[in-house]
Amino acid sequence: MQNIICLVRINDMSQYHPLPISIGEIYKRDIIYIMPLYQRTYCWKPKDQLLAYKKDLQQIFETATQTPPEQIFLGAIILQREDKSSTVTSDKYTVIDGQQRLTTIYLTLAAMAEYAYEKGFVAEAKALIKNYMVSQGRGTEDYPKIESTNLDRQQLNDVLQDLKAFSIKLNPGTGKKNGDLLNAYNFIKEKIVKALILEMDASESVHTFTIFMDSFLENFVIADITLDSSHDPNEVFDRLNTKGIRLGIIDLIRNNLFKEFSGNQANSQNFYYSTWLPFEQKLKTKHMFHSNTDSAVKQADNFFFPYALNQQNTITKQNVVRELRKLWKSKKSTAIVKDMEDFIEPYFAIISGHDFKHRIPSTIGQNLRDALVDLHQLNVPQATYPFLMRCIYEVIQKNVNESDIEECFRILESFIVRRSLVYDEEGTGYHAIFKKLWDASKGIPAELKKKGNIHTTTKVFPTDKEFEKAILEKGIYGKTIEKYLLMQYEEHLATAAFEVYPNKHIETSDHILAQSLGKKLKGTAKEEFERTLNLWGNILPMSRRLNSKKSNKKIKNIYNSLGQNVTFQTSKEWYKDNSSNADWTPALIDKRTKKIAKWALQRWKGI
């Protein structure tokens, strides 16, 4: 397998034949590779991409003495040349794609130089740095041949400062002192460079180091695609499937917005720091539910589809970036970010995750807040997000009445609850309704109820009769919606203690009439047992401790425990209504289920 880098001037993206170029040629050219401000930070990990990279290097060094030696293809990079201001200064190329590869290669060069210094190979180390790591152009002499993203630069500077025997000039930067780039460098230095040289020769001689260095520079190759000014780098990137970590939606959005500032570094930098970076950081880190980078990117990426549907409800998830690009064609990047930023607070108010109550805007009134909390507890499908997000946005902008949006949320809640029980639906197939529901209703309850909006030919709104019949005949035990239903009934009963209720949650639930008791039954008795076993009237919320103690005891043996030792109002109500009964029978289950059904019809009203 060959590891090829290709240098090509592309005039027709449909026809080109890349030529191989070695890593040595890439970094020997007097070129400075600029990682634009909008690029993501370095993110290759030791257990993933760097481990595969090590295996490639290992293969090179194992075949270094072959004739001809084996070459390994590392992937492709896409560059765009900046206008040259002088005939003497180094050329500068913006890295459209390939930041991770170019940075990893540069870190390997630095690790090799540091190894050489440690072993006393000073001449070799200085030659490596001068020829491959620093510029020789006027005005840029002895500056690194890569300009990392600003947020990575402090880590890169720490790496280069260790090469004290050679004076490398450093560009100021910000970012974390410790992070993925520094972790990668330490892995490359210890687990790749030192480890592989030791494998080649235990004496670690200068001759072995020279073979190692030459093999790395000559036998790693990469495809270097250089664009002229007539090409849109974002379009090129979208059409090339290169080896590496796939960019997230936020990366593609960011790249598109920076096109406005192409060739104007000052304006690009101002937009990045004053507008884009605050937006991206807020979207990734505000109300962060996970500590790792991948989750932050996913949290940010999931924002754009519901946002996009609020710009045009025909956009598909697969083409969200392309369609937004069309919509933004005549808009300024700053205005685009401002518009997206206004949707961040509504987005965090409706997405699932812990501590959702604190994510609801403080300006929202209590009634609407309660309705939104109930939707969170119901765990509504993500297909509802565009509509919910737009509703909260319009409330914040004071374009609608809160009472109308509250009623819309209650209608939506009833719709999902009723369909879950009547049709045993688990929240699928709602996308076609909710992607256009705002445009159809504008948040007006009467419009929401109209046939063709939330009530369609394929997703009908169940009637009272259908809903009641489902509660009386269908079990809720084990359903996705079960704990939500139990929670709502508990809140209904616990009105007096509601101030403390939000701190409670339903750990588990169980049958009052135990499942195991049916084994001894036959005939009609068995049929009745099986018919009523999983009905709502036979289910109570319980703590795990009580559930384990209850086990499968007969009901007459646990009346007192259930009545006196529980905190749930539901269990207390059941005990109060039934403690005088000698046993718990299917007829009593039906009676309790009818009582709950009567309440449910009022709780989740029809249209």
Of the candidate ranges 250-254, 405-409, 499-503, 553-557, the one whose mean pLDDT is the lowest:
499-503
For the record, the structure tokens of 31 come out as 């070129």
Q: How confident is the model at residue 499 (pLDDT cuts 50, 70, 90)?
A: very low
User: For residue 241, what pLDDT is reported?
Assistant: 39
Smallest CA-to-CA distance from 400 within 413, 387, 416 is with 387
Spatial distance between the Cα atoms of 391 and 410, rounded to a whole number of angstroms: 13
Using one digit for the tens of pLDDT, what is the confidence trace for 411-448?
999 999 999 999 998 778 899 999 999 999 999 999 99
User: What is the pLDDT averaged over residues 6-29?
Assistant: 58
Spatial distance between the Cα atoms of 19 and 7, rounded to a whole number of angstroms: 6
Q: How confident is the model at residue 185 (pLDDT cuts 50, 70, 90)?
A: very high
The answer to whether 111 and 192 are in contact (CB under 8 A) is: yes
Using one digit for the tens of pLDDT, what is the confidence trace for 282-327?
898 766 555 555 677 788 899 999 999 999 999 998 889 889 999 9
Q: Where are the alpha helices (DSSP H) in 188-309?
A: 195-200, 206-219, 233-239, 249-257, 265-271, 277-285, 293-309
Q: How many CB atoms lie within 10 A of CB 203?
A: 8
The answer to whether 320 and 354 are in contact (CB under 8 A) is: no
User: For residue 87, what pLDDT is reported?
Assistant: 53
Domain extent listing, the chain: 5-246, 247-341, 506-603
Q: Where are the alpha helices (DSSP H) in 494-558?
A: 523-532, 544-550
Q: How confident is the model at residue 402 (pLDDT cuts 50, 70, 90)?
A: very high
Of the candidate ranges 236-240, 329-333, 468-472, the one whose mean pLDDT is the lowest:
236-240
Which residues lie closer than 8 Å to 94 by C-beta, 6 or more apart?
34, 36, 79, 80, 81, 82, 233
User: For residue 386, what pLDDT is reported?
Assistant: 97
For the record, the structure tokens of 297 come out as 């990117």
Q: How many CB atoms lie within 10 A of CB 580?
A: 7
pTM of structure: 0.72
Q: Look at residue 584 and tell me whether its pLDDT is greater than 80.
A: yes
- DSSP states along 385-436: HHHHHHHHHHHHTT-S-HHHHHHHHHHHHHHHHHHHHHS---S-S-HHHHTS
Q: How confident is the model at residue 554 (pLDDT cuts 50, 70, 90)?
A: low
What angle do the packed helices 402-422 and 464-473 form, to 10 degrees? 50
Spatial distance between the Cα atoms of 100 and 53, rounded to a whole number of angstroms: 11
- Mean model confidence pLDDT for the chain: 83
Name the one residue in this structure whose structure tokens are 């005949």: 473
Name the one residue in this structure whose structure tokens are 């000073």: 122
Spatial distance between the Cα atoms of 110 and 497, rounded to a whole number of angstroms: 65
Phi-psi region of 443 (alpha: psi -120 to 50; beta: other; left: phi over 0): left
User: For residue 566, what pLDDT is reported?
Assistant: 66
Q: How confident is the model at residue 239 (pLDDT cuts 50, 70, 90)?
A: low
DSSP lists the bridge partners of residue 316 as none
Please tell me whether residue 77 adopts helix, strand or coil conformation: strand
463 or 67, which is more confident = 463
User: What is the pLDDT averaged over residues 562-571?
Assistant: 71
